[in-house]
Amino acid sequence: MRDVASFAHALSTAPTISLNAVLVRIVPGLALARRVPPNFLYTSGKPNRFNPAGVGCVYFSEDEETALGEYRRAWRGTPGEHQPRTTFYADVTIRRVLDLTEVSTASQLGITRADLHAPWRGARVLTVTQRLGHAISLQARVVGIRYPSDAAYERIGDLSGGTLPDPSLITGANVVVFLQNVRAPDRLRILGPTRRPLQRWP
């Protein structure tokens, strides 16, 4: 049940939620400033928690504290740890999001809490979560995934081994949006100083 084909089949009936929220993202300020105008929805195509290489995704957090924790965790111990950073916000409306903070939804897909927090950087084979993301990129029903934040877990426990904290204690979640799956009336709008968005998708 944990290969791409099995995930693709399960996604046709997997429970989803609708999402209508303002999400937060923090990125290196200089990287964003290299493009004029800035591309707030830039996707590198590099592998990440829920996407293998070549799948375009944008990762957000549901609140600023979680976004900052994720940013610091990503850059900790690197030369870029103390670089300027930019925070921006997206008004997001998506009809079908897979909510993996719900234990029942994750269990139905055969995904464990350990899977959700397993290391993915430098992995030689696709992780379970990357295989799920690959399956999502091959269909049109599900557009995004809501999942528990590693940074939020770190605030109350140790992700390096042992027993993971009870998910009911976690107050921080992220959302990954698969851009190629976003079709009207689903939308992302990067908020600016006026009612006109700085950028939108689609």
Whole-number pLDDT of residue 163: 52
**Do the domain assignments include residue 58?**
yes
Domain carrying residue 142: 4-193
- CA-CA-CA-CA dihedral for 7, 180, 23, 14, to nearest 10: -20
202 within domain boundaries = no
Q: Does residue 201 sit within a domain?
A: no
Residue 169 lies in a domain: yes
Tell how strand 85-99 and strand 17-28 pair up: antiparallel
Tell me what pLDDT residue 155 has.
60
Q: What is the pLDDT of residue 12?
A: 94
Rounded to the nearest integer, the mean pLDDT of the chain is: 91
In a domain, 99, yes or no: yes
The answer to whether residue 42 is domain-embedded is yes
Look at residue 124 and tell me if it is in a domain: yes
pTM for this prediction? 0.91
* Domain-located, residue 97: yes
Report residue 172's pLDDT band, with 50, 70 and 90 as the boundaries: confident
pLDDT 10s digits, 143-152: 999 999 987 7
Domain count, the chain: 1
Cβ-contact 170, 184 below 8 angstroms? no
